[in-house]
Structure 1
Amino acid sequence: MKYIYYTVVIALLGSCSFSARTTERYLREATQKSYDMIVVPGVPFTEQGWDSTMKARVYWSKYLFDKGIAKNIMYSGSAVHSPYYEGQIMALYAVAIGIPASHVFSETKAEHSTENLYYSFHKSKQLGFGSVALATDPFQAKQLRRYARVRVDESVGIIPIVFDTLRAMHPYMTDPAINYKEAYKENFVPLGSRESFWKRFRGTMGKNVDKNAYKEPVPISR
Protein backbone atom coordinates (compact mmCIF):
# COMPACT_ATOMS: atom_id res chain seq x y z
CA MET A 1 0.00 0.00 0.00
CA LYS A 2 2.79 2.45 0.90
CA TYR A 3 4.53 1.68 -2.38
CA ILE A 4 1.37 2.49 -4.33
CA TYR A 5 0.88 5.71 -2.34
CA TYR A 6 4.41 6.94 -3.00
CA THR A 7 4.17 5.96 -6.65
CA VAL A 8 1.01 8.03 -7.04
CA VAL A 9 2.57 11.02 -5.24
CA ILE A 10 5.68 10.89 -7.40
CA ALA A 11 3.57 10.63 -10.54
CA LEU A 12 1.46 13.63 -9.52
CA LEU A 13 4.51 15.73 -8.70
CA GLY A 14 6.16 14.73 -11.94
CA SER A 15 3.10 15.77 -13.93
CA CYS A 16 3.41 19.28 -12.48
CA SER A 17 6.94 19.84 -13.74
CA PHE A 18 8.83 19.48 -17.01
CA SER A 19 11.01 16.37 -17.22
CA ALA A 20 14.78 16.65 -17.65
CA ARG A 21 14.42 15.56 -21.27
CA THR A 22 11.81 18.23 -21.93
CA THR A 23 13.94 20.99 -20.40
CA GLU A 24 16.83 19.94 -22.63
CA ARG A 25 14.56 20.10 -25.67
CA TYR A 26 13.40 23.60 -24.77
CA LEU A 27 17.02 24.70 -24.39
CA ARG A 28 17.99 23.24 -27.77
CA GLU A 29 15.14 25.16 -29.36
CA ALA A 30 16.14 28.35 -27.54
CA THR A 31 19.72 28.14 -28.81
CA GLN A 32 18.35 28.69 -32.31
CA LYS A 33 16.98 32.07 -31.23
CA SER A 34 18.05 35.21 -29.42
CA TYR A 35 15.43 36.85 -27.21
CA ASP A 36 15.41 40.60 -26.64
CA MET A 37 14.31 40.00 -23.06
CA ILE A 38 13.97 37.05 -20.72
CA VAL A 39 11.72 37.29 -17.69
CA VAL A 40 12.85 35.79 -14.38
CA PRO A 41 10.18 35.55 -11.63
CA GLY A 42 11.13 36.68 -8.13
CA VAL A 43 11.82 34.82 -4.92
CA PRO A 44 11.38 36.20 -1.36
CA PHE A 45 14.59 37.55 0.18
CA THR A 46 15.79 37.75 3.77
CA GLU A 47 18.85 39.44 5.20
CA GLN A 48 20.58 36.05 5.48
CA GLY A 49 21.08 36.17 1.71
CA TRP A 50 19.64 34.53 -1.37
CA ASP A 51 18.30 31.00 -1.14
CA SER A 52 18.98 28.13 -3.55
CA THR A 53 15.93 28.91 -5.70
CA MET A 54 16.87 32.54 -6.26
CA LYS A 55 20.48 31.59 -6.89
CA ALA A 56 19.45 28.98 -9.45
CA ARG A 57 17.19 31.39 -11.33
CA VAL A 58 19.77 34.18 -11.42
CA TYR A 59 22.59 31.90 -12.53
CA TRP A 60 20.37 30.33 -15.18
CA SER A 61 19.66 33.80 -16.54
CA LYS A 62 23.41 34.46 -16.62
CA TYR A 63 23.97 31.25 -18.55
CA LEU A 64 21.37 32.30 -21.12
CA PHE A 65 22.91 35.77 -21.38
CA ASP A 66 26.45 34.41 -21.76
CA LYS A 67 25.27 32.03 -24.50
CA GLY A 68 23.62 34.86 -26.42
CA ILE A 69 20.14 33.39 -25.97
CA ALA A 70 19.11 36.42 -23.91
CA LYS A 71 20.11 39.96 -24.83
CA ASN A 72 18.56 41.47 -21.70
CA ILE A 73 17.07 40.20 -18.45
CA MET A 74 14.14 41.46 -16.40
CA TYR A 75 13.81 40.24 -12.81
CA SER A 76 10.27 40.60 -11.52
CA GLY A 77 8.77 40.76 -8.06
CA SER A 78 7.34 43.18 -5.54
CA ALA A 79 7.91 43.07 -1.77
CA VAL A 80 5.46 40.24 -1.15
CA HIS A 81 6.48 38.10 1.83
CA SER A 82 9.47 40.11 3.06
CA PRO A 83 10.21 43.86 2.99
CA TYR A 84 12.47 43.67 -0.07
CA TYR A 85 11.54 44.14 -3.71
CA GLU A 86 12.35 40.75 -5.18
CA GLY A 87 13.00 42.09 -8.67
CA GLN A 88 15.52 44.64 -7.40
CA ILE A 89 17.27 42.13 -5.15
CA MET A 90 17.75 39.69 -8.02
CA ALA A 91 18.96 42.48 -10.28
CA LEU A 92 21.59 43.40 -7.67
CA TYR A 93 22.78 39.80 -7.54
CA ALA A 94 22.82 39.59 -11.33
CA VAL A 95 25.16 42.56 -11.62
CA ALA A 96 27.27 41.23 -8.74
CA ILE A 97 27.93 37.94 -10.57
CA GLY A 98 28.95 39.67 -13.77
CA ILE A 99 25.94 40.48 -15.92
CA PRO A 100 26.42 44.02 -17.30
CA ALA A 101 24.12 46.48 -15.56
CA SER A 102 23.10 47.94 -18.92
CA HIS A 103 21.37 44.65 -19.71
CA VAL A 104 19.64 44.19 -16.35
CA PHE A 105 16.11 45.41 -15.66
CA SER A 106 13.64 44.97 -12.81
CA GLU A 107 9.86 44.98 -12.46
CA THR A 108 8.48 45.55 -8.96
CA LYS A 109 4.69 45.51 -9.28
CA ALA A 110 4.10 41.73 -9.51
CA GLU A 111 2.90 39.80 -6.46
CA HIS A 112 2.19 36.44 -8.12
CA SER A 113 3.99 34.34 -10.73
CA THR A 114 1.31 35.07 -13.32
CA GLU A 115 1.86 38.78 -12.70
CA ASN A 116 5.63 38.34 -12.98
CA LEU A 117 5.16 37.25 -16.57
CA TYR A 118 2.26 39.55 -17.46
CA TYR A 119 3.80 42.75 -16.13
CA SER A 120 7.31 41.99 -17.34
CA PHE A 121 6.06 41.22 -20.83
CA HIS A 122 4.21 44.52 -21.03
CA LYS A 123 7.03 46.49 -19.44
CA SER A 124 9.41 44.98 -22.00
CA LYS A 125 7.11 46.06 -24.81
CA GLN A 126 6.71 49.49 -23.21
CA LEU A 127 10.50 49.88 -23.28
CA GLY A 128 10.65 48.94 -26.93
CA PHE A 129 11.87 45.34 -26.73
CA GLY A 130 10.58 42.71 -29.13
CA SER A 131 10.82 39.00 -28.38
CA VAL A 132 10.29 37.84 -24.79
CA ALA A 133 10.81 34.49 -23.05
CA LEU A 134 10.22 33.14 -19.55
CA ALA A 135 13.27 31.63 -17.81
CA THR A 136 12.64 29.83 -14.53
CA ASP A 137 12.61 26.40 -12.87
CA PRO A 138 10.82 23.50 -14.61
CA PHE A 139 7.91 23.44 -12.14
CA GLN A 140 7.03 27.12 -12.49
CA ALA A 141 7.68 27.07 -16.23
CA LYS A 142 5.13 24.31 -16.75
CA GLN A 143 2.57 26.04 -14.53
CA LEU A 144 2.90 29.26 -16.55
CA ARG A 145 3.15 27.80 -20.05
CA ARG A 146 -0.57 27.88 -20.83
CA TYR A 147 -1.05 31.24 -19.10
CA ALA A 148 1.76 32.67 -21.23
CA ARG A 149 0.18 31.46 -24.45
CA VAL A 150 -3.45 32.30 -23.64
CA ARG A 151 -3.31 35.35 -21.36
CA VAL A 152 -0.07 37.09 -22.29
CA ASP A 153 1.03 36.41 -25.88
CA GLU A 154 1.45 33.24 -27.91
CA SER A 155 4.92 34.41 -28.96
CA VAL A 156 6.34 34.13 -25.41
CA GLY A 157 9.16 31.58 -25.27
CA ILE A 158 9.72 29.12 -22.43
CA ILE A 159 13.24 28.25 -21.24
CA PRO A 160 13.11 26.07 -18.10
CA ILE A 161 16.27 25.44 -16.10
CA VAL A 162 18.31 22.43 -17.20
CA PHE A 163 19.64 21.22 -13.86
CA ASP A 164 22.50 19.18 -15.36
CA THR A 165 23.78 22.39 -16.94
CA LEU A 166 23.32 24.28 -13.68
CA ARG A 167 25.21 21.59 -11.73
CA ALA A 168 28.12 21.88 -14.15
CA MET A 169 28.28 25.60 -13.31
CA HIS A 170 28.28 25.01 -9.55
CA PRO A 171 32.09 25.08 -9.01
CA TYR A 172 32.15 28.58 -10.53
CA MET A 173 29.21 30.00 -8.58
CA THR A 174 29.77 32.59 -5.87
CA ASP A 175 27.66 34.17 -3.13
CA PRO A 176 28.41 37.87 -3.54
CA ALA A 177 27.49 40.51 -1.01
CA ILE A 178 24.93 43.06 -2.16
CA ASN A 179 23.58 46.25 -0.67
CA TYR A 180 20.12 44.80 -0.08
CA LYS A 181 18.98 47.96 1.71
CA GLU A 182 18.65 49.55 -1.73
CA ALA A 183 15.65 47.27 -2.31
CA TYR A 184 13.97 47.81 1.08
CA LYS A 185 10.29 48.79 1.12
CA GLU A 186 9.21 51.18 3.84
CA ASN A 187 5.98 50.49 5.75
CA PHE A 188 5.92 46.92 4.47
CA VAL A 189 2.88 44.72 5.12
CA PRO A 190 3.08 41.09 3.93
CA LEU A 191 0.61 39.95 1.31
CA GLY A 192 -1.03 37.47 3.68
CA SER A 193 -1.97 40.33 6.01
CA ARG A 194 -3.26 42.57 3.23
CA GLU A 195 -5.42 40.19 1.24
CA SER A 196 -7.85 37.37 1.95
CA PHE A 197 -7.08 33.81 0.91
CA TRP A 198 -9.51 34.03 -1.99
CA LYS A 199 -8.07 37.26 -3.32
CA ARG A 200 -4.58 35.74 -3.16
CA PHE A 201 -5.89 32.65 -4.93
CA ARG A 202 -7.35 34.83 -7.67
CA GLY A 203 -3.98 36.53 -7.95
CA THR A 204 -2.26 33.18 -8.34
CA MET A 205 -4.64 32.43 -11.21
CA GLY A 206 -3.85 35.76 -12.85
CA LYS A 207 -7.22 37.33 -12.06
CA ASN A 208 -5.91 40.43 -10.26
CA VAL A 209 -3.66 41.90 -12.96
CA ASP A 210 -3.82 45.60 -13.66
CA LYS A 211 -4.36 45.59 -17.40
CA ASN A 212 -3.44 49.26 -17.66
CA ALA A 213 0.03 48.74 -16.21
CA TYR A 214 3.02 49.50 -18.44
CA LYS A 215 0.93 50.58 -21.39
CA GLU A 216 2.20 54.14 -21.82
CA PRO A 217 5.48 54.54 -23.80
CA VAL A 218 8.33 55.82 -21.63
CA PRO A 219 12.10 56.24 -22.01
CA ILE A 220 14.12 53.15 -21.04
CA SER A 221 14.78 53.03 -17.31
CA ARG A 222 15.88 50.39 -14.88
Structure 2
Amino acid sequence: MKRLFERLTAKVLAANPLDLESMVRGFLIQYFFHTSDRGRIAVVGEGRRSINLLTPTQFKGLGRIVLSTTTVFGVPRSPGSYGCSYVESRTPESLIQIGAGTVFNNRAFILSEGASVTFGERVLVGPELHVADSNSHQLELGLRAQPDAKPLPVVIGDDVFIGSRVTILKGARIGRGCVISAGTVVTPNFEAPEMSIVAGNPCRIVGRVKDAASTDNSRNETHEPA
Protein backbone atom coordinates (compact mmCIF):
# COMPACT_ATOMS: atom_id res chain seq x y z
CA MET A 1 0.00 0.00 0.00
CA LYS A 2 2.82 2.39 0.86
CA ARG A 3 4.52 1.77 -2.50
CA LEU A 4 1.22 2.26 -4.37
CA PHE A 5 0.71 5.56 -2.58
CA GLU A 6 4.24 6.63 -3.43
CA ARG A 7 3.70 5.80 -7.11
CA LEU A 8 0.43 7.73 -7.20
CA THR A 9 2.09 10.67 -5.46
CA ALA A 10 4.87 10.66 -8.01
CA LYS A 11 2.35 10.68 -10.88
CA VAL A 12 0.45 13.56 -9.31
CA LEU A 13 3.63 15.59 -8.85
CA ALA A 14 4.65 14.91 -12.44
CA ALA A 15 1.30 15.93 -13.90
CA ASN A 16 0.56 19.33 -15.40
CA PRO A 17 -1.08 21.29 -12.51
CA LEU A 18 -3.77 22.80 -14.74
CA ASP A 19 -4.70 19.41 -16.21
CA LEU A 20 -4.75 17.81 -12.77
CA GLU A 21 -6.92 20.59 -11.34
CA SER A 22 -9.43 20.20 -14.18
CA MET A 23 -9.56 16.40 -13.79
CA VAL A 24 -10.09 16.50 -10.01
CA ARG A 25 -12.82 19.13 -10.27
CA GLY A 26 -14.47 17.21 -13.10
CA PHE A 27 -14.51 14.04 -11.00
CA LEU A 28 -16.12 15.88 -8.07
CA ILE A 29 -18.74 17.44 -10.36
CA GLN A 30 -19.66 14.02 -11.74
CA TYR A 31 -19.71 12.42 -8.28
CA PHE A 32 -22.04 14.95 -6.67
CA PHE A 33 -24.37 15.07 -9.67
CA HIS A 34 -24.45 11.26 -9.84
CA THR A 35 -25.56 11.16 -6.18
CA SER A 36 -28.27 13.80 -6.79
CA ASP A 37 -32.02 13.19 -7.11
CA ARG A 38 -31.79 13.89 -10.82
CA GLY A 39 -35.36 12.86 -11.56
CA ARG A 40 -36.61 15.99 -9.76
CA ILE A 41 -34.79 18.39 -12.08
CA ALA A 42 -36.49 20.00 -15.08
CA VAL A 43 -34.47 22.04 -17.57
CA VAL A 44 -36.40 24.60 -19.62
CA GLY A 45 -35.52 27.10 -22.32
CA GLU A 46 -33.99 27.14 -25.75
CA GLY A 47 -31.02 25.04 -26.77
CA ARG A 48 -29.64 21.82 -25.42
CA ARG A 49 -31.35 20.46 -22.31
CA SER A 50 -28.26 20.30 -20.14
CA ILE A 51 -27.23 21.57 -16.71
CA ASN A 52 -24.22 23.89 -16.57
CA LEU A 53 -22.13 22.74 -13.61
CA LEU A 54 -18.65 24.25 -13.45
CA THR A 55 -17.98 23.29 -9.82
CA PRO A 56 -19.49 20.49 -7.65
CA THR A 57 -23.25 20.85 -7.13
CA GLN A 58 -25.74 18.42 -5.58
CA PHE A 59 -29.53 18.41 -6.05
CA LYS A 60 -31.76 16.69 -3.49
CA GLY A 61 -35.38 16.41 -2.38
CA LEU A 62 -38.89 15.25 -3.19
CA GLY A 63 -40.10 18.49 -4.78
CA ARG A 64 -39.36 20.24 -8.08
CA ILE A 65 -36.19 21.98 -9.20
CA VAL A 66 -36.60 23.98 -12.41
CA LEU A 67 -33.48 25.32 -14.11
CA SER A 68 -32.90 27.21 -17.33
CA THR A 69 -30.58 25.95 -20.04
CA THR A 70 -28.47 29.03 -19.28
CA THR A 71 -28.39 28.72 -15.48
CA VAL A 72 -24.80 28.26 -14.30
CA PHE A 73 -23.48 26.84 -11.03
CA GLY A 74 -19.88 27.55 -10.11
CA VAL A 75 -16.88 29.71 -10.92
CA PRO A 76 -13.70 27.59 -11.22
CA ARG A 77 -11.26 30.46 -10.65
CA SER A 78 -12.80 31.53 -7.37
CA PRO A 79 -12.49 30.45 -3.70
CA GLY A 80 -14.38 27.28 -2.83
CA SER A 81 -14.27 25.79 -6.32
CA TYR A 82 -13.82 22.30 -4.84
CA GLY A 83 -16.63 22.82 -2.31
CA CYS A 84 -20.14 21.63 -3.12
CA SER A 85 -23.18 23.81 -3.71
CA TYR A 86 -26.30 22.19 -2.26
CA VAL A 87 -29.81 22.65 -3.71
CA GLU A 88 -32.71 20.88 -1.97
CA SER A 89 -36.42 20.94 -2.70
CA ARG A 90 -37.16 18.98 0.43
CA THR A 91 -40.89 18.17 0.47
CA PRO A 92 -43.25 17.11 -2.35
CA GLU A 93 -44.79 20.63 -2.29
CA SER A 94 -41.45 22.42 -2.54
CA LEU A 95 -40.21 24.35 -5.57
CA ILE A 96 -36.88 25.90 -6.53
CA GLN A 97 -36.99 27.81 -9.82
CA ILE A 98 -34.04 29.61 -11.39
CA GLY A 99 -34.30 31.88 -14.42
CA ALA A 100 -32.25 32.24 -17.57
CA GLY A 101 -28.75 33.64 -17.33
CA THR A 102 -28.55 33.38 -13.54
CA VAL A 103 -25.04 32.51 -12.32
CA PHE A 104 -24.07 31.21 -8.88
CA ASN A 105 -20.57 31.38 -7.50
CA ASN A 106 -19.35 28.51 -5.32
CA ARG A 107 -20.77 26.83 -2.22
CA ALA A 108 -24.35 28.07 -2.51
CA PHE A 109 -27.05 26.61 -0.24
CA ILE A 110 -30.65 26.80 -1.49
CA LEU A 111 -33.49 25.13 0.43
CA SER A 112 -37.22 24.97 -0.20
CA GLU A 113 -39.24 23.25 2.49
CA GLY A 114 -42.83 23.52 1.34
CA ALA A 115 -43.16 27.01 -0.16
CA SER A 116 -40.77 28.11 -2.94
CA VAL A 117 -37.50 29.85 -3.75
CA THR A 118 -37.56 31.71 -7.06
CA PHE A 119 -34.68 33.47 -8.81
CA GLY A 120 -35.41 35.68 -11.79
CA GLU A 121 -33.26 36.11 -14.88
CA ARG A 122 -29.65 37.33 -14.99
CA VAL A 123 -29.15 37.19 -11.23
CA LEU A 124 -25.46 37.25 -10.24
CA VAL A 125 -24.69 35.50 -6.96
CA GLY A 126 -21.44 35.66 -4.96
CA PRO A 127 -19.90 32.75 -3.05
CA GLU A 128 -21.52 31.11 -0.02
CA LEU A 129 -25.11 32.22 -0.52
CA HIS A 130 -27.61 30.83 2.01
CA VAL A 131 -31.30 31.10 1.08
CA ALA A 132 -34.28 29.20 2.49
CA ASP A 133 -38.07 29.49 2.53
CA SER A 134 -38.29 28.12 6.07
CA ASN A 135 -36.54 28.16 9.43
CA SER A 136 -35.91 24.41 8.93
CA HIS A 137 -37.31 23.86 12.45
CA GLN A 138 -40.04 25.21 14.68
CA LEU A 139 -38.65 27.96 16.90
CA GLU A 140 -40.77 27.32 20.01
CA LEU A 141 -38.98 25.57 22.84
CA GLY A 142 -39.97 21.93 22.92
CA LEU A 143 -40.91 21.88 19.21
CA ARG A 144 -37.51 22.44 17.62
CA ALA A 145 -37.21 18.86 16.38
CA GLN A 146 -40.24 19.48 14.13
CA PRO A 147 -40.18 21.09 10.65
CA ASP A 148 -41.20 24.72 10.25
CA ALA A 149 -45.00 24.72 9.98
CA LYS A 150 -45.12 28.03 8.08
CA PRO A 151 -42.63 28.21 5.22
CA LEU A 152 -42.96 31.36 3.10
CA PRO A 153 -41.93 31.97 -0.53
CA VAL A 154 -38.67 33.76 -1.29
CA VAL A 155 -38.73 35.80 -4.49
CA ILE A 156 -35.61 37.30 -6.07
CA GLY A 157 -36.30 39.46 -9.14
CA ASP A 158 -34.47 39.88 -12.42
CA ASP A 159 -31.00 41.46 -12.61
CA VAL A 160 -30.32 41.29 -8.88
CA PHE A 161 -26.69 41.31 -7.69
CA ILE A 162 -26.03 39.33 -4.50
CA GLY A 163 -22.64 39.70 -2.82
CA SER A 164 -20.64 37.05 -0.98
CA ARG A 165 -21.89 35.35 2.19
CA VAL A 166 -25.42 36.70 2.00
CA THR A 167 -28.25 35.03 3.95
CA ILE A 168 -31.82 35.39 2.68
CA LEU A 169 -34.56 34.15 5.01
CA LYS A 170 -38.13 33.06 4.45
CA GLY A 171 -40.71 35.45 3.05
CA ALA A 172 -38.09 37.86 1.67
CA ARG A 173 -38.85 39.64 -1.62
CA ILE A 174 -36.09 41.37 -3.54
CA GLY A 175 -37.11 43.57 -6.45
CA ARG A 176 -35.59 43.89 -9.89
CA GLY A 177 -32.10 45.34 -10.14
CA CYS A 178 -31.34 45.36 -6.41
CA VAL A 179 -27.84 45.02 -4.95
CA ILE A 180 -27.51 42.92 -1.78
CA SER A 181 -24.18 43.82 -0.19
CA ALA A 182 -21.70 41.21 1.02
CA GLY A 183 -22.49 39.73 4.43
CA THR A 184 -26.08 41.00 4.48
CA VAL A 185 -28.77 39.08 6.38
CA VAL A 186 -32.10 39.61 4.61
CA THR A 187 -34.58 39.09 7.43
CA PRO A 188 -37.92 37.23 7.20
CA ASN A 189 -40.62 39.04 5.18
CA PHE A 190 -38.27 41.88 4.23
CA GLU A 191 -39.24 43.59 0.97
CA ALA A 192 -36.70 45.46 -1.12
CA PRO A 193 -38.23 47.74 -3.80
CA GLU A 194 -36.73 47.67 -7.28
CA MET A 195 -33.22 49.12 -7.67
CA SER A 196 -32.55 49.23 -3.91
CA ILE A 197 -29.15 48.77 -2.27
CA VAL A 198 -29.55 46.56 0.80
CA ALA A 199 -26.89 46.04 3.49
CA GLY A 200 -26.41 45.07 7.12
CA ASN A 201 -27.48 42.59 9.77
CA PRO A 202 -30.36 43.04 10.17
CA CYS A 203 -30.65 44.42 6.67
CA ARG A 204 -31.84 47.87 5.70
CA ILE A 205 -32.10 49.90 2.52
CA VAL A 206 -29.05 52.14 2.26
CA GLY A 207 -29.32 53.57 -1.25
CA ARG A 208 -30.52 53.32 -4.81
CA VAL A 209 -28.93 51.61 -7.81
CA LYS A 210 -28.15 53.86 -10.76
CA ASP A 211 -29.42 52.76 -14.15
CA ALA A 212 -26.48 52.72 -16.56
CA ALA A 213 -28.73 53.51 -19.52
CA SER A 214 -30.15 56.65 -17.91
CA THR A 215 -26.68 57.70 -16.75
CA ASP A 216 -25.31 57.39 -20.28
CA ASN A 217 -28.25 59.36 -21.64
CA SER A 218 -27.66 62.20 -19.20
CA ARG A 219 -24.00 62.36 -20.18
CA ASN A 220 -24.92 62.56 -23.84
CA GLU A 221 -27.49 65.31 -23.45
CA THR A 222 -26.70 68.55 -25.30
CA HIS A 223 -27.78 71.89 -23.94
CA GLU A 224 -28.76 74.87 -26.07
CA PRO A 225 -27.07 78.17 -25.17
CA ALA A 226 -29.19 80.35 -22.90
**Same fold by TM (over 0.5)?**
no
Give the alignment's TM-score, normalised by structure 1: 0.27
Bigger Rg over Cα: 2
Larger RCO (alpha carbons 8 Å, 6+ apart): 1
Give the alignment's TM-score, normalised by structure 2: 0.26
User: Which structure: greater helix fraction?
Assistant: 1
